[in-house]
Amino acid sequence: MRSEFDDIRAHITAEPPRPSELLELAHSLLDDLEQLRTREAILRSHYLALLTAARATVAADSAGHPAALTFLQHELAEHGQLPDGEQAQRILSDAVAAQSMLAHLDEPAGPRRSRGARGPVCGGVSRSLRS
């Protein structure tokens, strides 16, 4: 599968590089990296908050707290992820299916079957490069 980086490499090697185009590409890539760093920091903070709430919930349950789920319920509600009655059954089904798939991860995979000749594969929408 081709990545966006493969597309960029192919473009750079296909034509003699023009400094202005490469500089524009470098600025665009740096902007993308900055956005990704910010997004990663936000995701890490959400993960930490959820992990903290989960640990506090387990600790409260171990200590016999009468409302042990409060920490986790608050964190889920904070992000609009607290399931209502209709969603509960679907979420439970998804969790059972995920556990079943995880249990089979360690099993050896069977031999891969050849599907014959394949055409080019698109790896997704890529950055447009001016020529």
- pLDDT averaged over every residue in the chain: 83
pLDDT one-digit tens code per residue, 1-20: 677 778 777 877 787 767 88
Measured over the CA atoms of residue 61, residue 63, residue 67 and residue 69, the dihedral's sign is negative
Q: Domain boundaries in the chain? A: 4-99
**Cα–Cα distance measured from residue 44 to residue 81, given in angstroms and rounded to the nearest whole number:** 17
- Dist. CA 67–CA 56, nearest whole Å: 11
Q: Which residue has the higher pLDDT, 48 or 16?
A: 48
Rounded Cα–Cα distance for residues 111 and 95 (Å): 28
- Exposure b/e, 26-45, CB count within 10 A at least 16 = b: eeeeeeeeeeeeeeeeeeee
Higher pLDDT, 73 or 111: 73
- SS3 of residue 130 by DSSP: coil
Neighbouring residues of 71: CB distance < 8 A, sequence distance ≥ 6: 52, 53, 54, 56, 57, 60
| pLDDT over 90 at 35, yes or no | yes
What's the pLDDT tens digit per position in 89-104? 899 999 999 999 998 8
SS3 of 124, please?
Answer: coil
Q: How many residues in the chain?
A: 131
Query: Are 53 and 74 in contact, with CB atoms under 8 Å apart?
Result: yes
Kindly tell me if the per-residue pLDDT of 130 is higher than 50.
Answer: no
Residues 56-67 have pLDDT tens digits of: 999 999 999 999
- Under 8 Å between Cβ of 22 and 131: no
